[in-house]
């Protein structure tokens, strides 16, 4: 038996699970939240209901990785680092270089960093995590698992942009998507819950967190997804604008005296979305606390819900039908009001929410009514087990 740690680094979080493989037994799990913000939350769950929690300022992902490995030994979850024989890293952007998961080498890390232009909030953090683990655990099997791999099944009609073809042929300018590992897991799990082969179903998966994306999964394959060339496209997110008219950029740059396009892109990636609309926070929980007294916070929440509904509706059209809508990730799993508001605007599809079943956080279940033609499910994502499986495949 071996121990494999699966690392899922988001733009402001580091989620992980330590597995005994190949049994896929979870030995410990945890998350570091609000990385780069004040009052970061460091949590480890282990043993039989034991929990370690600390609130402190964690400046970046490298510090988070160092804390994680240190606490695994201090809590006697492992005796020493040598017990960990494999580590799998979620990487957002693989471009057209990586069609599948890959063993980590210096060249692979360099390529991940080169692909940061596709995922400026994530690939640098992914590479930092990989380097930190390689420094402490240089001899273990290290695997990069790419979010974009699942979306390689998209037909050309859906991943191409309506720009000169030479830009694609010369520069690979196209839609790549993200969150593929999560979309794949929850679609397959939803099919299991429905008692039907995933190959027979049309499923729309809603990965809603600080980063958010919607995917049309037809017959178990991704046929379209809301994120684009980078994770900036699609629905409104925590700090990202989502879809925007490109002509607005030079207009705003002139009005605001912004000379560098990279500065404008930074604003769209880091100062927009829920944070920009509300002027308060990128965290939906903070906005929900004040939505009844702050009009901007309430508007930000309604815009988020509206953009999700629009993508779900368009993907039902893309697949010429839908059998199930699945909610997952931080907001999708815990946003009771968000799920209800989204589905209440999709009753024309035959989706009906059961308010009692929906009144739950993070509990795998059907949340639609018994007679709902389109099933609505809450499925906590488990990208980590998918990552651990790929480590095993590449040992």
Active site residues: 147
Distance (Å, whole) CA 175 – CA 203: 20
Walk across the sheet containing 14-21 and list its strands. Answer: 50-56, 40-46, 25-33, 14-21, 2-9, 84-91, 141-146, 102-103
Tell me the three state secondary structure of residue 3: strand
Distance (Å, whole) CA 256 – CA 283: 26
Give the strand pairing for 40-46 and 14-21.
Answer: unpaired
Distance (Å, whole) CA 320 – CA 204: 12
Find the radius of gyration of the CA atoms of the chain.
Answer: 21
Q: Residue 362 burial (CB < 10 Å; 0-12/13-18/19+)?
A: exposed
DSSP 320: T
Q: Which two tokens stand for residue 139?
A: 């001899």
Distance (Å, whole) CA 231 – CA 209: 13
**Bridge partners for 87 per DSSP:** 5, 142
């Amino acid at each position: 038996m071996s121990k494999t740690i699966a690392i899922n680094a988001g733009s402001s979080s580091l989620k992980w699970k330590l597995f005994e493989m190949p049994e896929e037994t979870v030995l410990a799990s945890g998350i570091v939240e609000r990385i780069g913000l004040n009052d970061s939350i460091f949590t480890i769950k282990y043993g039989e209901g034991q929990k370690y929690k600390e609130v402190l300022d964690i400046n970046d992902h490298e510090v988070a990785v160092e804390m994680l490995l240190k606490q695994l030994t201090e809590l006697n979850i492992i005796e020493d680092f040598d017990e960990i024989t494999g580590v799998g890293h979620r990487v957002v952007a693989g471009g057209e270089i990586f069609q599948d998961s890959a063993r980590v080498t210096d060249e692979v890390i360099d390529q991940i960093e080169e692909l940061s232009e596709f995922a400026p909030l994530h690939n640098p953090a992914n590479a930092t995590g990989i380097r930190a683990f390689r420094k402490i655990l240089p001899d273990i099997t290290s695997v990069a698992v790419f979010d974009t791999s699942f979306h390689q099944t998209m037909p050309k009609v859906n991943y191409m942009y309506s720009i000169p073809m030479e830009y694609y042929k010369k520069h690979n300018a196209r839609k790549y998507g993200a969150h593929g590992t999560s979309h794949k897991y929850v679609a397959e799990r939803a099919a299991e819950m429905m008692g039907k082969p995933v190959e027979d179903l049309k499923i729309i998966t809603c990965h809603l967190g600080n980063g958010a994306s919607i995917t049309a999964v037809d017959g178990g394959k991704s046929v379209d997804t809301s994120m684009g060339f980078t994770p900036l496209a699609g629905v409104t997110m925590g700090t990202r604008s989502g879809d925007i008219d490109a002509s607005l950029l030079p207009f705003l740059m002139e009005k605001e005296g912004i000379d560098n396009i990279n500065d404008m892109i930074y604003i769209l990636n880091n100062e927009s979305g829920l944070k920009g609309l509300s002027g308060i926070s990128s965290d939906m929980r903070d906005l929900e606390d004040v939505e009844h007294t702050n009009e901007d916070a309430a508007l930000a929440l309604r815009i988020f819900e509206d953009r999700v509904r629009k993508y779900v509706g368009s993907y039902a059209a893309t697949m010429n039908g839908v059998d199930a809508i699945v909610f997952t990730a931080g907001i999708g799993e815990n946003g009771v009001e968000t799920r209800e508001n989204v589905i209440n605007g999709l009753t024309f599809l035959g989706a009906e929410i059961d308010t009692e079943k929906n009144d739950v956080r993070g509990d795998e279940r059907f949340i639609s009514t018994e007679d709902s033609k389109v099933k609505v499910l809450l499925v906590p994502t488990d990208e980590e087990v998918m990552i651990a499986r790929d480590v095993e495949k590449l040992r």
